[in-house]
Amino acid sequence: MTDITREGTQPSELALAVTERLKKMHGNKAELAILIGCSRSMVSQYLAGKYQSNPETVENALRKWMDETEAEYGDGSGTVWSEDAGGEAPDGQAERGPEEAQPQPGRLPEKIRYFESDDFNKVIGLCQSCQEDTGLGIVVGRSGLGKTYALQRYAKLPRVCYLECDDTMSSKDMLEEIEERLGLLQDGGTIHRRVKRIREFLRINHGYLLIFDEADKLMNKYTTAKLEIIRGIFDKVDVGIVIAGEPRLETDLKMHLTRFANRLDFYHKMHGLTRDELAEYLAGWDIDEDAAAELAQRAYAARGGCFRLLDRTLNNVLRVLKERGETKVTLEVVREASGMMML
């Protein structure tokens, strides 16, 4: 029987079971949508109990995914999530999401293992678009906003090759990294020969996405050869490519590599956590007003604030609370935690 949900209703038993499975797998809705071939909005609305259209397509896809992951991540009950099974989750499987969390007196708070911020979902969506449409995309943002985390999460999916670039990487080094990620035998040869071999592989094996993180380190005032190689691969074969880096990557492309810049199909500039996202991320924490204001500065202050700084601070806050035997986050606790860091 198909379980049609409407706005204002509670998530179905299938939706609750899928949410619990995702927690166990440390996965998220954006990645799940890619794996089952449905849109992110469809999956998100269905799991929240707000999907207003006929849910048959998404339910069938979710049941199939539940069956495929049951052996490794199931509860041992042997539940088969088929159409005939009715999609009912075993008793006690549902847990509250971060938006429902409440402070637990006498208990240490817990950090959310993954967090789907707007930035995260935009990066995942950009990667998906580039892979599906064989497009060229760029992600820019200052350090600490979560570019690498999102890109590495997406790179866990099939036919995605992730490379983290650095200043010491030569053109040959970069091509060797690509060959290694694609599983090609590295039998040497000139740069031209290596590029040709990579193109031939991608021409035969469709559907790949190449991600070049820290791509701003591939160019300087002396050479743009490495990015020209990437552009050459993109021009000759149907392959998706994403480059990511500091804001200067965008500026340098526009100034020195217009042939690359005018080929870009997708673009996202990281903006960091919003106030609402910070509130959701800290749901379940017992934090006084002064401490909350200080943590907000760590999260999105114009100078230095970023998700990474917030995360590091919270790690030390938990250490201080554990040593003190306390659970409430005060300004004094935040300052003691900050004293353990170089800010």
CA dist 215 and 204 (Å) reads: 26
Give the rounded distance of the alpha carbon of 234 from its chain centre. Answer: 24
CA dist 313 and 319 (Å) reads: 10
CA dist 263 and 265 (Å) reads: 6
Tens-level pLDDT at each residue, the chain (343 residues): 344 444 446 788 998 999 889 888 877 787 788 788 787 778 888 988 888 888 888 899 899 989 888 888 877 666 666 654 443 333 333 334 444 456 666 678 888 777 889 999 899 999 989 998 999 999 999 999 999 999 998 998 889 999 999 999 999 999 999 999 999 987 778 999 999 999 999 999 999 999 999 999 998 877 899 999 999 999 999 999 999 999 999 999 999 999 999 999 999 999 999 999 999 999 889 999 999 999 999 998 767 789 999 999 999 999 999 999 999 999 999 999 988 887 6
pLDDT of residue 149: 92
Can you list the domains of the chain with their CATH numbers? 1-79 (1.10.260.40), 118-269 (3.40.50.300), 275-338 (1.10.8)
Reported pTM: 0.76
pLDDT of residue 245: 96
Distances (CA, A) of 168 to 118, 174, 226: 33, 10, 12
Instruction: Name the burial class of residue 287, with classes exposed (0-12), middle (13-18) and buried (19+) by CB atoms within 10 angstroms of its CB.
Output: buried
What stretches of the chain adopt beta strand conformation (E)? Answer: 136-140, 160-164, 209-213, 240-245, 266-269, 286-287, 328-329
pLDDT of residue 36: 84
pLDDT of residue 95: 36
Give the amino acid at 125: G
pLDDT of residue 7: 45
CA dist 256 and 228 (Å) reads: 11
